[in-house]
Amino acid sequence: MKFSKFRQLYPVSFIGLFAATLLTACSITTIDYIFVASTSGIDTFAVDSQSGALRPAAATLKSGISTPIAMVSTTDYANLYVANLGTSSSGGTIVHLAIGLKGVLTVKETLTLSENPVSLATNTAGTYLYVVSCPSSATSPVLRCSGSPKLTEYALASGVIGAAKSQYALSLGGTYATDTLIPTGIAVLANNGSNIKGNAVYVTAYDQSAYNPGGTATSTANPGWVFGFVIGSDGSLTPATNSPYEAGIKPTAIAADPTDRFVYVTDYASNELIGYTILGGSTLNFMTNGPFRTGNEPASITLDPRGKFIYVGNALDSTVSAYSITQATGNPTASVNTTGSPVNSTDTQPMAIVVDAALGRFVYTANELGNSVSGFILDPTSGSLKPTQSTPYPSGSKPAAIVSIPHGNHATQLVTP
């Protein structure tokens, strides 16, 4: 997941990518494909099973990709959806891509929106696509909404985007009903645990009327929030009990663990990770001993497929924070880095992060100002990280989103609570 769009451009060396390409002279097994969305299009990389090094795979797809802000795949890894920002006078688009052999992408359809999409998610069954959006009259639509943001649920049939099934406007209501909310992220529960009574979706947002650095705060509301919704069997969205939930000052990214027991949110302004326990299948309750420290300006978060580790991309520090999850409580505990370094350095400004889907052995960040992807080897016992060979790997300009899919017969990890 990721938060804001920056416009500064840094040069990048192609030495790392060239060195990774030379690895093809050796025996290489591809376990994953990594898709990286940038203003240059979608780059496809193959992941080496032994080293985690990336090498170019399918040709960069440029059709329909302009200013990507978010990207998600279906859980069967057959479909990819990319959200493009619009302009101050027009809405954005959702581009549906089919994922073929060797990571080849094919444009299937484009959905034009009246608003700007901010974040995307799909449910486990692949029957719904969730889009968080907001209207904007500004040239920086992610940072300024001119009206209430919305959560829209679109029906999916074999990956094809159908009609909007349900929609809900995000508002604090009451005294703060007119406050301007800026949505930032979304997460859908996997709903694969026997202890789950329902399914839910969560959206992070911050109150710009209450938190407006450099401007005037016009509201006394809590700045950060998580909106929770129960998903009915018919696709209907109903606010979860006690929703919305307080979420620090400026929540930027959100992720749920694979067993549907915990939710984690990064707070960009407080440099913290906020943890919640899920009660009754959807209600959130703060974890004890939290929030937990991160690096500076955490902007993205991901969990490994086994639900054992958390990784946070810190935009200002250009680092990744690693945590192990205490299974009984969900509390994150900082992992020890095997390299002896207190930080896991990336290229400049990591704004999106992912763990490889096949084996959960590698972590990758999309670095917006570095125009690159940084790679790490994940220790499956401790959760600590060390750099992959030849990292970082050059990408297109201003990469904003990253997705991993398993290749061939490499199955994803099974999750046990």
Helix (H) or strand (E) segment spanning residue 20: helix 15-22
Task: Identify which of 134, 117, 136, 105 has the alpha carbon closest to the alpha carbon of residue 42.
Answer: 105
Q: Is the Cβ–Cβ distance between 354 and 2 less than 8 Å? A: no
Positions in the chain whose pLDDT score sits under 50: 1-15, 18-26, 141-142, 193-197, 410-411, 416-417
Whole-structure pTM value: 0.90
Q: Which domains are present in the chain?
A: 15-406 (2.130.10.10)
Whole-number percent of the chain with pLDDT over 90: 78
Q: Is the Cβ–Cβ distance between 211 and 204 less than 8 Å? A: no
Q: Alpha-carbon distance 201 to 166, whole Å?
A: 13
Q: 96 is written with which tokens?
A: 């549906």
The amino acid that residue 363 corresponds to is V
Average pLDDT, the chain: 88
pLDDT in tens, 167-203: 999 999 999 999 999 999 999 998 754 444 458 999 9
Start-end of H helices in 92-204: none
Amino acid 190: pLDDT = 86
Q: How many C-beta atoms surround the C-beta of residue 183 within 10 A? A: 25
- Residue 374 makes CB contacts below 8 A (sequence gap 6+) with 320, 345, 346, 347, 350, 364, 365, 367, 387, 391, 392, 393
Amino acid 334: pLDDT = 81
Q: 222 is written with which tokens?
A: 């809590």
Amino acid 417: pLDDT = 44
Task: Identify which of 211, 228, 230 has the alpha carbon closest to the alpha carbon of residue 219.
Answer: 211
Amino acid 184: pLDDT = 96
Q: Is the Cβ–Cβ distance between 315 and 286 less than 8 Å? A: no
